[in-house]
Amino acid sequence: MDKVTVPVLKEKKGKEKITMLTAYDYCFAQIIDEAGVDVILVGDSVGTVMLGYSTTIPVTISEMIHHAKAVVKAVKRALVVIDMPFMAYQESIEKAKRNAGRMLKETGAEAVKIEGGEKMKDVIKALVDIDIPVMGHIGLTPQSYHVFGGYKVQKEAERLIRDAKALEEAGAFSVVLECVPRQIAKRITEEISIPTIGIGAGPDCDGQVLVIHDLLGLLGDFRPKFVRQYVKLRDVVKKAAIEYVSDVKNGIFPDDAHSFH
Ligand code: KIV
């Protein structure tokens, strides 16, 4: 079992596909680490899939730290990346450095992820200069929900290519491409030297990422076009809970086999 580090991940470009999934707690992090995923992202999607927020915007640094601590305890092989939440890095470079440093020191995560392209170049460079590895994130950046007016595919090829190149120049070690037409994602992947990790960006990226709740079918009927559900776990969990309720109500559980003597 070779530990995935930032240099190991960069080396994978052009040689093998990179796999990344989100996790927000000890149990799921342990399962997906054992499954061999390369990168575990403690995403600020924690806000929408675990905490019931309607966007990622309200997520706080403390919430990110709380979840990342549990994930880091479970992970042996994967690279653990933590999302910097909205307003943890936009205000000033000094604040971005302080917050990123705190998030790595208090959680044990190995890198931060930051949303935004050219506009975030100076922030990313400042973090990389103090030895904080940064994963970029361009295309549909969910923290810009109100600017985009919703979750919309980003199709401006020249801007996206400029953004990707700005992140590469700033020293980011990889970049997430979210909801970008596959032809543009392919071009970016060919034109930059760092790995691209796609979500809704087609098959030509260097790697793929999904939110674990989407892959497991844990959420309701809402399913973005780019998600493949590998199991309908919501139905499985619900069925088990319904059976449990029925067994307890009818005196079937606990039985003698589940009792102490
Ligand atoms: O927060 C998150 O889960 C993410 C992924 C969608 C890449 O940023």
Query: Quick one: tokens of 242?
Result: 């319904």
CA of 14 to the centre of ligand 1 (A): 23
Helices 26-34, 61-74: inter-axial angle, 10-degree rounding:
50
131, 68, 185, 56 alpha-carbon torsion, rounded to 10°: -120
Mean pLDDT, the chain, whole residue set: 97
pLDDT digits (tens, 9 = 90+) for 99-116: 999 999 999 999 999 999
**What does the pLDDT average to over 37-59?**
98
Q: Ligand 1, residue 56: give the atom nearest the CA.
A: 1
Catalytic site positions: 178
The binding-site residues of ligand 1, defined as CB within 6 angstroms of any ligand atom, are 22, 41, 43-45, 83, 137, 176, 199, 209, 211
Cα-to-centroid distance, 15 and ligand 1 (Å): 24
> How many angstroms does the Cα of residue 94 sit away from the middle of ligand 1?
25
Closest-lying ligand 1 atom to the alpha carbon of residue 44 = 1
- Specify the ligand 1 atom closest to the Cα of 197: 7
pLDDT value, residue 141? 97
C-alpha dihedral sign at 19, 25, 31, 33: positive
pTM: 0.97
Mean pLDDT confidence for 195-199: 98
Percent of the chain exceeding pLDDT 70 equals 100
pLDDT at 236: 98
Task: Measure the CA–CA gap between 249 and 158, rounded to whole angstroms.
Answer: 62
User: Coil, strand or helix: which one is 112?
Assistant: strand
**pLDDT value at 143 more than 80:** yes
Q: Is the pLDDT of residue 45 over 90?
A: yes
Q: Where are the domains of the chain?
A: 6-230, 233-261
Hey, which bits of the chain come out as E strands? 18-22, 39-42, 79-83, 111-115, 134-139, 174-178, 196-199, 207-210
- Whether the per-residue pLDDT at 222 is higher than 80: the answer is no
Contact between 18 and 81 under an 8 Å Cβ cutoff? The reply is no
Amino acid 221: pLDDT:
78
Nearest CA to ligand 1 atom 4: 43
Q: Whose CA is nearest to atom 1 of ligand 1?
A: 43
Mutate to test the pocket of ligand 1, among 81, 178, 179, 196 (most ligand atoms within 8 A of CB): 178
The CATH superfamily of 6-230 is Phosphoenolpyruvate-binding domains (3.20.20.60)
Q: Counting atoms of ligand 1 from 1, which one is nearest the CA of 209? A: 7
CA distance 58 to 60: 6
pLDDT tens-digit readout, 164-181? 999 999 999 999 999 999
With 90 as the cut, is the pLDDT of residue 129 above it? yes
Backbone angles phi, psi at 54, to 5 degrees: -85, -20
Please report the pLDDT score of residue 65 as a whole number: 99
pLDDT tens-place string over residues 238-261? 999 999 999 999 999 999 999 999
Phi, psi of 96 (to 5 degrees): -60, -40
What is the per-residue pLDDT for 92?
Answer: 98
- Percentage of the chain beyond pLDDT 90 is 98
Q: Give 149-168 pLDDT, tens digit per residue.
A: 999 999 999 999 999 999 99
Res 223: pLDDT: 83
